[in-house]
Each structure stands twice: as structure tokens, then as C-alpha cells.
Amino acid sequence: MPIQGAQTPIVMVAGKMGKAYAFRSDNGQPLWNVSVGKHENDTGPLPRNPITIYPGDLGGVETPMAYADNRLFVPWVDFAARASATGLAGGFATNFGSGRGGLAAIDAATGKMMWQQKLPSMDFGAATVANDVVFTSTYAGRIYAFDTATGKTLWTSQAPAGINSFPAVDGDTLLVGAGAAGFAKNPQYELIAYSLSAPTAGGGSSSPPSSASGGSSTAPPASVGKGRVSVTGQEFSFNLSTNSQPKPGQVTFVFKNVGHVLHDFSINGKQTPLVQPGHTARLVVDFTKPGKYPYLCTVPGHAAAGMKGTFTVK
């Protein structure tokens, strides 16, 4: 790497402490280190009474990083442990649904954080680079493709089971093994192949792989007025133009995803399709009686992260 104007041989490494390091590979001289993910109470000494620690014994960088074009891509896991000065409290945690994760891009020459993508489930999917796209996946079974330069979400898909293996690329094919229980009610353990060069509807230029979980509506947003509610989905929260309806009747929810990953909007037994970042979908719901109606995003882990609330019909 060009470091301070000189070509320097380096080696990069990371681990469960949730940090990435670079050293000169000829003499071991430290060059930089960067923390990724959540860090809390992870520097000792620990007190006598148990406290919550991040990234935790099963957190940090659990799976391989990737390198391309002077960028180091680091997947991380935030999975809390409870411990004291005398050891773990209650053994290893197993409530994997509480874990989160993410992927970071680091300038390999300087250690500068270039971008981060926080994910609603633990990232056990490593980092796999193909040209200017980096792939990763989560224990909830979600596969992601990000732009290596900007971190923009290019594509995402839901596998039929959880993923704790690493995406692989062979030619123009992305291969993903979904073999963990994850959070699916009836997981189907599969090896899935996606085309990286599927033609567009017009048969011209290539496009990202098609989502296994269906597309999203790109209809323009409706104006918000009587019987209409504007819903904005962020990471990871909803913002409604109003949380109530003055009387029973039909309500059109206009949901726009302004986040970086797929979301949907579900209320009163109905839900939108999964909506790509920057896209919009409409959901027409009939409320036949007054009451409080919970709404949420049904993507595994998103409601637990905060994408839920209550809509009141008076």
C-alpha cells in the first residue's frame, strides 16, 4: 500500500474484539487500528457484578474480510454478553434474535472509515467482492449487495432459511448457502444461485439479480389528505403523517422506503410487498370498527429494532 508516499507491504487482520488492524508485514510495526460495530464495557477491569458487554463473546468480526481497490471490507456482529470479573453470567447467550451486525469499508492505507452499513441481524456472511460490488448476508437470511465505493444498497434478497455461510461468486453467478435455522418459521435449507447478468425487461443492459422475495411498487406517492396516511420508513423506524383516523372506513397508506435496505409495511392483516430503497408502495386497508391497530415491518429483526407502532381508529 502507498503509506506516507512509500509503497509498504502490509497485512490486515481482525477478530472477535471488534477491531481491524494493519501492520507492516516485514517487521510487524503497527500502522492503524479501527473499531467496528458497537463497543460497550469491553475494556477491563470488569466489576464484581455482571454488566452488559459489546461486542460480546460471540460478536466482533466472526467471518472473513475482503480486500479490493485499496478498500478493506469488514463484516461485524453486535451480540451482547453478560459478564463480571469472575466470568460469564449465565453462560453463552443464545437469543440470536437480539443480535445486530453490519459491514464497513476502510481505507487500507490510512485506516479511515469510508462507509458503514448497519444491518438488523448478525452478519455471519463474510464479505465477498466482485468488481465494484461487495456481497454479505445475515443470520436472518437476508443477502445484500453494496456499491464498494459508496456503500449504496444495490440489491437485496430474502433466502428461505438463515445464513451463516459466505457468498461465493463464480463467473456471473452468485452462490449462497442458506443452511441455518435463522428466524424462519419453516426454514428450507437450500443452495441458491443468482444471475449477476440477468437482462433487463428490454433485453439490453444487465441488471442486479432478481429478488427472491418479490418486487416493490414504484408508483408515485399519493397526496396526503382525508383517508390517506403518508408513511416513511427509515433505518429502523416508521414516521406516519398521522397516527389516527377520526372514524372507521378505508385508509390508503402511502409507504416510501427512505432507508438503505428492504422494508415493508403491515397493518390489520395486510402488508405491502418488500419495497426497495427509494421506492414507494400503496396499501389500502378497510377499518370496520374503532380500535388500536398495530403496524410493523415484517422483515425478520426490523420490528424488534424499532419498526413498529400503533394506529388508532376512533
pLDDT digits (tens, 9 = 90+) for 266-303: 999 999 998 888 899 999 999 999 999 999 999 877 88
Same domain, yes or no: 249 and 202: no
Residue 96 lies in a domain: yes
**In a shared domain, residues 71 and 197:** yes
Total domains in the chain come to 2
CA distance 199 to 205: 6
pLDDT at residue 55 tops 90: yes
- For position 303, what pLDDT does the model report? 86
Chain Cα centroid distance, residue 119:
2
Domain of residue 193, CATH code: 2.40.128.630
Residue 204, pLDDT > 50, answer no
The DSSP symbol for 263 reads B
Of 13-17, 197-201, 286-290, the one with minimum mean pLDDT is 197-201
- The pLDDT value given to residue 222: 32
**152 located within any domain:** yes
- Catalogue the E-assigned strands of 235-313: 237-240, 244-245, 249-257, 266-267, 270-271, 280-287, 291-296, 308-313
Q: Model pTM greater than 0.85? A: no
Query: What is the reported pLDDT for 72?
Result: 97
Q: Which of 157, 174, 207 is the last residue of a domain?
A: 207
Per-residue pLDDT, 135: 96
Q: Is the pLDDT of residue 250 over 70?
A: yes
Same domain, 234 and 190: no
End-to-end CA distance of the chain: 64
221, part of any domain: no
Domain end call among 154, 172, 207: 207
Per-residue pLDDT for 87 more than 70? yes
Do 179 and 241 belong together in one domain? no
127 and 237 assigned to the same domain: no
Count how many residues are written for the chain. Answer: 314
In terms of residue numbers, what domain contains 258?
A: 228-313
In this structure, the answer to whether residues 193 and 306 fall within a common structural domain is: no
CATH number of the domain at 296, please.
2.60.40.420
Burial 273-307 (b: 16+ CB within 10 A, else e): bbbbbebbbbbebebeeeeebebbbebbbbbbbeb
* Predicted local confidence at residue 24, as pLDDT: 95
Single out the residue in 147, 175, 207 at which a domain terminates: 207
What pLDDT score does 226 carry?
53
Provide the residue type at 8 as one letter. Answer: T
CA–CA dist 29, 239 (Å, integer): 49
In angstroms and rounded to an integer, the radius of gyration of the C-alpha atoms of the chain is: 22
Q: Tell me the per-residue pLDDT of 132-162, one tens digit each, with 9 for 90 and over.
A: 999 999 999 999 999 999 999 999 999 989 9
Classify residue 59 by its DSSP letter.
-
Q: What nine digits make up the cell of 142?
A: 437476508
Comparing 155 with 203, the larger pLDDT belongs to 155
Q: What is the pLDDT of residues 29-39, one digit of tens each?
A: 999 999 999 99
pLDDT interval class at 78 (50, 70, 90): very high
- Are 181 and 237 members of one domain? no
Q: Are residues 274 and 149 in the same domain?
A: no
pLDDT grade for 198, boundaries at 50, 70 and 90: low
Claim to verify: residue 200 and residue 237 sit in the same structural domain: no
* 277 within some domain: yes
Task: List residues bridging with 308 in a β-sheet.
Answer: 296
134 and 270 part of one domain: no
Together in a domain, 52 and 81: yes
Q: Is residue 214 part of a domain?
A: no
Report whether pLDDT(211) > 60: no
Residue 215 inside a domain? The answer is no
Residue 184 covered by a domain: yes
Cα 107 from Cα 178, distance rounded (Å):
31
Q: Is the peptide bond before 248 cis (omega within 30 degrees of 0)?
A: no
Q: What angle (nearest 5°) sits at the alpha carbon of residue 269, between those of residues 273 and 287?
A: 115
Q: Is 217 contained in some domain?
A: no
Check if the beta carbon of residue 242 is closer than 8 Å to that of residue 311. no
- Whether 199 and 243 map to the same domain: the answer is no
Q: In the prediction, which pLDDT does 169 show?
A: 92
